[in-house]
A and B are shown apart, each in its own frame.
Chain A
Amino acid sequence: MGLSTKLVVSGAVAGAALSYYVRSRHQRTGESYLSIVRQLPGDALQWADDTRARAVRALEEGKTAARGREEEFTRQLNAAGAPPGA
Chain B
Amino acid sequence: MDSSFATLAMSTPTIVLSYAAAFFFVVVAIAAAYALFKAGGTLQRVDTVLGDVDREAVPLLQKAGTTLDGVNANLGNVDQITKDVADITDKIDAMATAVEGAVSTPARKAASFSAGVQGAVTSFMRRDKTAPAGSAPRPAEDAAAAWSAPAAEQASAAATTASKAAEHDAPAPDALTDEPSVAARAGDAAVPDAAAEAAGPVTGAAAAESDAKD
Contact = CB atoms under 8 A, between A and B. Distances in A.
Interface string A50-67: 111111011101111111
A38 B119 contact: no
Contact of A29 (B118, B128, B147): B147
B167 to A, nearest CB: 7
A6 interface: no
Interface residues of B, number: 48
Q: Main secondary structure on chain A at its contact with chain B?
A: helix
A42 interface: yes
Contacts, number: 136
B190 to A, nearest CB: 11
A34 B118 CA distance: 41
Interface string B104-138: 10011101111111111111100010011110110
A28 B141 CA distance: 8
A5 interface: no
Which of B108, B119, B160 has most chain A Cβ within 10 Å?
B119
A70 B110 CA distance: 9
B152 A45 contact: no
Interface stretch (B12-20, B80-88, B178-186): B178-186
B144 A30 contact: yes
Contacts of A42: 175, 180-181, 183-185, 187-188
A70 B117 CA distance: 13
A73 B108 contact: yes
Interface of A: 28-32, 34-35, 38-43, 45-47, 49-55, 57-59, 61-70, 73-74, 77
8 contacts: A30-B155, A41-B176, A46-B136, A54-B128, A57-B123, A61-B122, A65-B118, A70-B112
Interface of B: 104, 107-109, 111-124, 128, 131-134, 136-137, 140-141, 144-145, 147, 152, 155-156, 159-160, 163, 167, 175-176, 180-181, 183-185, 187-188, 191, 195
The 9 closest A-B pairs by CB, nearest first: A42-B184, A62-B120, A66-B116, A50-B134, A65-B119, A29-B144, A49-B133, A69-B115, A58-B124
